[in-house]
Amino acid sequence: MRKLLNIFALAAMAMTGGHSVAQEAPKPLFDYPLAPDTCSTLESRSNYVITHFWDSFDLTKPISDDLSLIKTFRDYADLFKYGHRTVVMSGIRDFMFKLRGNATNLSKVGRVAEAVLYGPMADYWSDEVYVEFAKSLAAATVLKKEEREYYQRQIGLISLCQEGMPLNIEFTDATSGAKTKLADVPGKLFLVVFMNDGVDSSIDRTRLVTDVTLEQIVNEGQITVVCLNEGQPAGDWAASMPEKWVKGYGTKWASQLDLRAIPGCYMLDGEHKIMHKNITVADFKAALE
């Protein structure tokens, strides 16, 4: 499983800089701009603030208050939901270009952007928005080579797993031991569940196995569950799950997929094209209910 570095990066940032564990809620780095009265719609007001958000702040000077940076970036990113796409993308490019004047600030913003827009605990997921940040980070020569390559790998994984694209993966069938392509598994709709031998996976697997509604629609042929384990599982792993589930294992998910957490799920249509990705078992069960 790909390491979820963004969680630990944020945690480390939150514990540095002389901050105590118990403290007041962080304040923004600066006072945010206000849209003029001529901006009469939510979109126009959001566009104005996105465009001018960082105008009063010198991005070349060191950002020492990491908690305030996280707070400020979250407020900035929240505006993306309401602004026009062109304005959002242009604003991100301008912001990231200015950040190149301070490599440390750029690196910090990269970690925060990953946590807020891409990681498993993200405020909201937006591939298009996050890739715009990642592209700037991957091209920033002021960053170390390994850091640039890290973001380039993320861009590559995201590009391989866009909604509407077929999920082309191969796994070893846990029952027969044969190499199997997901594209050869028949069905009308697919829930592909990626798991490992961890406790969280065991709990979520139990939740799915015992779900009466899921059992019914599987038996009716409305959905096919494909449960894939990271690495060859021990014991009677396959035998402990419903007979009609497809059970398999593999070792290359991290290099093939935009998989942000395990356990995690992909929803595919009858042509094995991605409908939704990186949904949790809890999200899927809520949809069933």
DSSP 118-142: TSTT-SS--HHHHHHHHHHHHH-TT
Q: Does residue 14 sit in the same domain as residue 107?
A: yes
The pair of three-digit structure tokens given for residue 60, joined into one six-digit string = 């070349």
- In a domain? residue 165: no
Q: Does residue 65 sit in the same domain as residue 152?
A: yes
For the packed helices 103-117 and 66-78, what is the interaxial angle rounded to 10 degrees?
A: 50
Q: Does residue 117 sit in the same domain as residue 176?
A: no
pLDDT band, residue 97 (cuts 50/70/90): very high
- Domain boundary (141, 160, 179) is at 160
pLDDT band, residue 13 (cuts 50/70/90): very low
What is the pLDDT averaged over residues 251-273? Answer: 87
- In a domain? residue 25: yes
Q: Does residue 180 sit in the same domain as residue 115?
A: no
Checking if the pLDDT of 100 tops 50, the result is: yes
- In a domain? residue 214: yes
Model-wide pTM > 0.85: no
Total domain count, the chain:
2
Checking if the pLDDT of 22 tops 70, the result is: no
Mark 141-168 as b/e (b = at least 16 C-beta within 10 Å). eebeeebbebbeebbebbeebeeeeebe
CATH number for the domain spanning 207: value is: 3.40.30.10
Q: Does residue 29 sit in the same domain as residue 107?
A: yes
Q: Does residue 249 sit in the same domain as residue 146?
A: no
Q: Does residue 73 sit in the same domain as residue 132?
A: yes
Q: What is the pLDDT of residues 173-225, one digit of tens each?
A: 998 889 999 999 999 999 999 998 888 888 998 999 999 999 999 999 999 99
Enclosing domain of residue 71: 5-160
